[in-house]
A = this chain, B = another copy of it.
Amino acid sequence: MEMPAILRAMREPVEAALREVLDQSGAPPDLREAMAWSLLDGGKRLRPLLVLATRRLFPDGLDPMPAACALEMIHTYSLIHDDLPAMDDDDLRRGRPTCHRRFGEAMAILAGDALLTEAFAVLARAYGGTDDATGIAVVREIAEAAGPAGMVGGQVLDLLATGRAISRADLETLHRCKTGALIRAAVRCGALLGRADPRDLAILTRCADRLGLAFQVVDDLLDVTSTAEILGKTPGKDQAQGKTTMVTLLGIEGARHLGEALVRDALADLQPFGPQAESLRAIAALFVERTA
């Protein structure tokens, strides 16, 4: 599915900001090249878009772009490490050789480490220097979402679940950590930077949790229904690795219905925000309609 114009226009400054981040990182040239290979590869930028679109719900606050970049850098590092031979052992990512296929394993490990670390430097440079607690709250939100109780914890649960059947409750926990935590953090950072009150923050957190689960349900669907050409990576990996997915638990139709119901509920959460939520609604729609 083509990304709607409203989101394409939002994505352009994200690309420019990510390039700027690499230029200012002080990485030695070889490292910069490996970081850029994976960071500037035409990704959909869903997490940055969620930060920017959520920030738009609120009239005042801080610039959301540094948080948007930090989340994309962390997402990218997680893909680089996930693709390594010791992990998913993938050769292809977004239709191109994975970082370790292109630059070797050692450089890929270090490029991932560099992107993760620099994400926090980007946040601290942008939101530091003033006595405002918002910046460090954003650091905390992102570190906790990406760390052992969030994304990395989810990757460990995924590792342990490979090759054996798990319950729907365990699968939802795994998803909430592995992919949900970063999506939730994207929305919550947008809200924190817009100085959202606790009530709005709670509504948006629930909305983000629904979107996060919908995202993973669609991922599970695409793994069985798509092709390598459209997907840009190898499909059928879940089955090959003996993984429990929403499709193995609910079937293709059941998973499709669940994804649609989650996005419907997420859109209902956005009702009170009126026309300001237009770009956020467009992203929510993309979550079920995407094909890669």
Contacts and interface: CB of A to CB of B under 8 A. Distances in A.
Nearest to A117: B147
A106 B123 contact: no
A123 B117 CA distance: 14
A129 interface: yes
Contacts of A240: none
Given A125-B140, A133-B131, A152 B30 contact: no
Given A30-B160, A123-B139, A86 B113 contact: no
Report copies per complex. 2
A11 interface: no
Nearest to A134: B131
Contacts of A79: none
Contacts of A148: 25-28, 31-32, 35, 114, 117-118
A124 B140 contact: yes
Contacts of A228: none
Nearest to A118: B147
Contacts of A147: 25-26, 114, 117-118, 120-121
Contacts of A135: 136
Q: Which label, helix, strand, loop or mixed, suits the secondary structure of the A interface?
A: helix
A107 interface: yes
Contact of A156 (B28, B127, B137, B149): B28
A189 interface: no
Interface in A150-167: 152-153, 155-157, 159-160
25 contacts: A25-B149, A26-B153, A27-B153, A28-B148, A28-B156, A30-B156, A31-B153, A31-B156, A35-B148, A81-B110, A86-B105, A87-B109, A107-B159, A112-B113, A116-B117, A121-B140, A124-B136, A124-B137, A125-B140, A128-B137, A128-B139, A129-B133, A130-B133, A135-B136, A139-B139
